[in-house]
Amino acid sequence: MSATTARRPVLTIDDLSVVYEVEQPVTAVKGASFELAAGEILGLAGESGCGKTTLAYAVNRLHKPPARIASGSIVFHDREGGDVDLLALADEELRAFRWSKLSMVFQGAMNALNPVISIRAQLEDVLVAHRPRMSKAERRERAADVLRRVGVDPSRLTSFPHELSGGMRQRVMIAMAMILEPQVMIMDEPTTALDVVVQRDILREIVRLRDELGFAVIFITHDLPLLLEISDRIAVMLRGEIVELRAADDMYRDPHHEYTRKLLGSFPSLSGSRGAFIRSGVDESPVADGAEARA
């Protein structure tokens, strides 16, 4: 992947902490800080329960009690309207901001589609809510266009979720997240429960769409070899803290933190050139070797 040093920042998170106010309060995210560059794919890795999804929800301000952002700042650098303090947005401002500027593909999202509503209606609902001045014809054309972009034939617009495969449903969810052309997309385990071949196809689409449209991605998974394939940089989380944040190539060649070394060592094979399967479809890749043997 290309270096990110010359790109403008699109999101800055500084000293962010999230606490669950239960009988014995739990700090799920502790002082997280990083900057996301425009067009960058930033991988967020770590075992289940380390705080990855909690951090993603904090960026979107999706937490409900007992979760609470205890400290820190989240600033979105809008290329059209300047800096936005996400923690200061009122409810209506936040609703307008989500999906339009920053969208999220949730964990298990392919099962989140409404089973009794067509794919067309579910895509167009986003446009009705956020682009009320669009005509019906414009909405239909936009829905067809985003399906084409994620590799789904627009004829599937009339289908219902149960008529689609798991991979196609996941592509629809990615289409929904990008329909308003956000500047940042957060993807929380977007290929979980998909077989390796479908997973690979979707990863190719994500990289292609990033290159084509220029949005930045925070890609969350416990699968570090997968992140080595697609990420510009990787942040490794352990017990709520980011313990290592480096360029993916550097982390692969010379991991600094002991936990990062353990994550890399937990997969049976890391042979093959990084990114080979994305570029050429070569089977001998860390994703192909490691995805079926996840810890």
pLDDT of residue 271: 52
pLDDT in tens, 51-101: 999 999 999 999 999 999 999 999 999 998 899 999 999 999 999 999 999
Q: What would you report as the CA-atom Rg of the chain, rounded to the nearest whole angstrom?
A: 19
Residue 292: pLDDT band with limits 50, 70, 90: very low
The enclosing domain of 195 has a CATH number of 3.40.50.300
Entry pTM: 0.86
Examine residue 1 and state whether it is found in any structural domain, yes or no: no
pLDDT, mean of residues 204-219: 94
Q: Domain boundary at 135, 151, 181, which?
A: 181
pLDDT of residue 6: 63
pLDDT of residue 198: 86
Region of residue 275 (phi > 0: left; psi between -120 and 50: alpha; otherwise: beta): left
Q: Domain boundary at 166, 181, 196, which?
A: 181
> Which of 35-44, 160-169, 239-248 bottoms out in mean pLDDT, i.e. has the lowest?
160-169
Domain span at residue 239 reads: 9-101+184-293
Burial per residue of 139-172, b for 16 or more beta-carbon CB atoms within 10 angstroms, e otherwise: bbebbbebbebbbbebebbebbbeebeebbbbbb
* Same domain flag for 158 and 128: yes
Examine residue 143 and state whether it is found in any structural domain, yes or no: yes
Nearest Cα neighbor of 263 from 295, 293, 234 is 295
Examine residue 241 and state whether it is found in any structural domain, yes or no: yes
Nearest Cα neighbor of 42 from 19, 12, 87 is 12
Distance CA 217, CA 59 (A): 13
* Same domain flag for 238 and 172: no
Q: Give the pair of three-digit tokens for residue 42.
A: 């930033």
Q: Domain boundary at 140, 157, 181, which?
A: 181
Residue 266, pLDDT > 80, answer no
pLDDT of residue 281: 38
Residue 149, pLDDT > 70, answer yes
* Same domain flag for 157 and 267: no
Region of residue 108 (phi > 0: left; psi between -120 and 50: alpha; otherwise: beta): left
Residue 272: pLDDT band with limits 50, 70, 90: low
Distance CA 27, CA 270 (A): 33
Average pLDDT, the chain: 87
> Which of 72-81, 154-163, 232-241, 259-268 bottoms out in mean pLDDT, i.e. has the lowest?
259-268
Residue 112: pLDDT band with limits 50, 70, 90: confident
pLDDT in tens, 12-26: 999 999 999 999 999
Examine residue 50 and state whether it is found in any structural domain, yes or no: yes
* Same domain flag for 75 and 152: no
